[in-house]
């Protein structure tokens, strides 16, 4: 078996630990199918807990489940002992424990060398633990004190221990992102599952083809230093483009797993005839990411389900008001720490805040001009800006170390940092024109 695993890993260009994880990840599909046909609620919870523990053991070893037990215990005890503050307690306890694991394992170094550990799954589990506690805490508030998202997700009743453990370790969502439960009778999932699996196969094939062509180790080599500005910028784009297909593959498998379990259905479209929607399972919109016309769109189409679980932004914005750059930067900083304590993560997420803020400036100019030709030019400018800054910023996320990040950014004169800052300064000095009103709008007034 070990020999076969070694041969398979060598053929795919993967390490044995990564291959073992991927095989377990693909196994979530048949496991989720069995979950779908299990009768009654209690056996489903027991099955979810058992299969989650088993897959984590096969992927990461015994220690993984011990780490998960700590986070699960922190979340459940906080809800059991101190409901009015359980969200805060779970956040400080579970998030603090995750940071401790990041420091201990420094997983990024292992990932770059072909290794893998349980911290990736622990990151998702931490979100689930914190969100459950926050939603249970929100259950104490009156309707008028809650936002719409809080009303939708609040928990009025304490879940039983087996419900909670089954929720935390449900295999499809534990490995790649949490989901809410379905609320109505569902159509056949097979078409949606086939589409997700076909997408996964294409994504993996493209990733395996591209990754040898664009190694990340080149940023500190003399060869890279001899290249011209545009060749360096193009290489950074291709590195970011290549890396994203790995995530597209993972999320496509997760989508298939969750759809086949019954959790992916989100209702019917408004078209005639109505078609089933599977939005609960979708974690990425590939075209939306690659052809985003504004950086503001990126969080809406990338890591979608995890983004909806990050409570930081909405909790920092006062009810009835819009968030600003501070709230955005705070959210991105928490997201950086959630990923791990590497300089590259910090650079990437701070860059993301700058990228989105700069894109908003361009968008305000788009809204302010009346000439269609100018609108088109500004739309194309926002698209080019998003493409440039996103892939420039992504280098930090991939190489992680301070030396490699600074070397890569500096090699293109920090263009992806300078342009957003210039846009923000221009927004202070030169205000965009106010949006022009159409004749119809004027008549209404």
Domain shared by 206 and 151, yes or no: no
Domain shared by 235 and 128, yes or no: no
**Is 229 domain-assigned?**
yes
Question: Which residue ranges in the chain fall short of pLDDT 70?
Answer: 1-4, 109-110, 112-115, 171-185, 305-325, 432-445
**Is 232 domain-assigned?**
yes
Only one residue has tokens 């894109």, namely 359
Please give the pLDDT value at position 310.
Answer: 55
Domain shared by 155 and 194, yes or no: no
**Is 425 domain-assigned?**
yes
**Is 439 domain-assigned?**
no
**Is 437 domain-assigned?**
no
Q: Are 286 and 62 in contact (CB under 8 A)?
A: no
Domain shared by 109 and 217, yes or no: no
Question: Minimal CA–CA distance to 281: which of 251, 314, 315?
Answer: 251
How far from 342 is each of 97, 293, 348, 425, CA to CA, in Å?
Answer: 17, 29, 10, 29
Sequential DSSP letters for 112-180: HTT---THHHHHHHHHHHHHHHHHHHHTTS-GGGS-HHHHHH---SPPPHHHHHHHHH-HHHHHH---P
Quote the CA–CA distance of 196 and 41 in Å, as a whole number.
27
Catalytic residue check, 339: yes
For residue 26, what are the contacts with CB-CB under 8 A and spacing of at least 6?
Answer: 253
Quote the CA–CA distance of 87 and 82 in Å, as a whole number.
9
Domain shared by 272 and 408, yes or no: yes
Please give the pLDDT value at position 38.
Answer: 86
**Is 436 domain-assigned?**
no
Q: What DSSP state is assigned to residue 221?
A: S
Domain shared by 41 and 133, yes or no: yes
Range of the domain at 298: 190-429
For residue 360, what are the contacts with CB-CB under 8 A and spacing of at least 6?
Answer: 296
Diameter of the chain by CA atoms?
77
* 145, 176, 207 - which closes a domain: 176
Q: pLDDT tens digit string along 182-213?
A: 455 678 888 999 999 999 999 999 999 999 99
Please give the pLDDT value at position 318.
Answer: 62
Please give the pLDDT value at position 398.
Answer: 92
Domain shared by 229 and 316, yes or no: yes
Please give the pLDDT value at position 445.
Answer: 41
Other CB atoms within a 10 A radius of the CB of residue 5 amount to 13
Please give the pLDDT value at position 262.
Answer: 79
Domain shared by 149 and 294, yes or no: no
How far from 324 is each of 300, 304, 327, CA to CA, in Å?
Answer: 17, 21, 6
Quote the CA–CA distance of 60 and 33 in Å, as a whole number.
23
* SS3 of residue 235 by DSSP: helix
Domain shared by 327 and 350, yes or no: yes
Please give the pLDDT value at position 180.
Answer: 43
Supply φ then ψ for residue 346, to 5 degrees: -60, -50
C-alpha gyration radius of the chain: 23
Please give the pLDDT value at position 13.
Answer: 73
**Is 441 domain-assigned?**
no
Please give the pLDDT value at position 355.
Answer: 94
Q: Please, which residues bridge with residue 276 across strands? A: 268
**Which residue of the set 45, 311, 339, 403 is catalytic?**
339
**Is 443 domain-assigned?**
no
Preceding peptide of 273 cis, ω within 30°:
yes
Please give the pLDDT value at position 356.
Answer: 92
Q: How many structural domains comprise the chain?
A: 2
Domain shared by 140 and 220, yes or no: no
Domain shared by 151 and 68, yes or no: yes
Q: pLDDT tens digit string along 270-326?
A: 887 888 888 877 889 999 999 999 999 998 898 876 665 555 556 656 666 666 667
Domain shared by 67 and 106, yes or no: yes
């Amino acid at each position: 078996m070990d020999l076969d695993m070694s041969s398979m890993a060598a053929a795919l260009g993967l390490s044995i630990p990564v291959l073992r994880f991927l095989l377990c990840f693909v196994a979530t599909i048949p496991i989720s199918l069995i979950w779908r046909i299990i009768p009654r609620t209690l056996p489903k919870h027991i099955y979810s807990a058992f299969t989650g523990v088993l897959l984590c053991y096969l992927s990461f070893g015994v220690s993984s489940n011990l780490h998960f037990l700590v986070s699960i215990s922190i979340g459940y005890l906080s809800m059991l002992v101190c409901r009015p503050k359980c969200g805060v307690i779970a956040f400080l306890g579970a998030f603090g424990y995750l940071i401790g694991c990041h420091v201990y394992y420094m997983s990024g170094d292992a990932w770059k060398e072909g290794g893998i550990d349980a911290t990736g799954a622990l990151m998702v589990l931490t979100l689930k633990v914190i969100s459950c506690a926050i939603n249970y805490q929100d259950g104490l508030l009156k309707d008028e004190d809650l936002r719409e998202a809080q009303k939708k997700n609040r928990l009025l009743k304490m879940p039983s221990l087996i419900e909670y453990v089954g929720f935390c370790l449900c295999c499809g969502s534990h490995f790649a992102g949490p989901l809410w439960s379905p609320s109505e009778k569902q159509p056949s999932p097979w078409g949606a599952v086939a589409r997700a699996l076909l997408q996964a196969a294409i994504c993996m094939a493209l990733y395996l083809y591209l990754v040898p062509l664009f190694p990340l180790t080149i940023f500190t080599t003399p060869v890279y230093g001899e290249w011209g500005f545009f060749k360096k910028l193009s290489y950074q784009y291709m590195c970011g483009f290549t890396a994203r297909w790995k995530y597209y593959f993972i999320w496509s498998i997760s989508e298939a797993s969750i759809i086949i379990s019954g959790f992916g259905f989100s209702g019917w479209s408004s078209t005639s005839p109505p078609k089933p929607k599977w939005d609960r399972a979708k974690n990425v919109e590939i075209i939306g990411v690659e052809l985003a016309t504004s950086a503001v769109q990126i969080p809406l189409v990338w890591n979608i389900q995890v983004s909806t679980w990050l409570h930081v932004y909405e909790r920092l914005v006062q009810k009835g008001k819009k968030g600003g750059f501070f709230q955005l930067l705070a959210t991105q900083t928490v997201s950086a720490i959630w990923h791990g304590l590497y300089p590259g993560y910090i650079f990437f997420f701070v860059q993301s805040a700058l990228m989105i803020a700069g894109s908003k400036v361009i968008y305000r100019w788009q809204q302010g001009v009346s000439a269609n030709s100018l609108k088109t030019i500004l739309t194309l400018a926002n698209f080019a800006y998003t493409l440039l800054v996103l892939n420039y910023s992504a280098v930090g996320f991939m190489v992680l170390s301070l030396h490699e990040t600074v070397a890569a950014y500096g090699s293109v004169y920090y263009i992806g940092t300078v342009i957003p800052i210039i846009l923000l300064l221009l927004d202070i000095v030169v205000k965009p024109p106010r949006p022009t009103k159409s004749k119809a709008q004027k008549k209404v007034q």
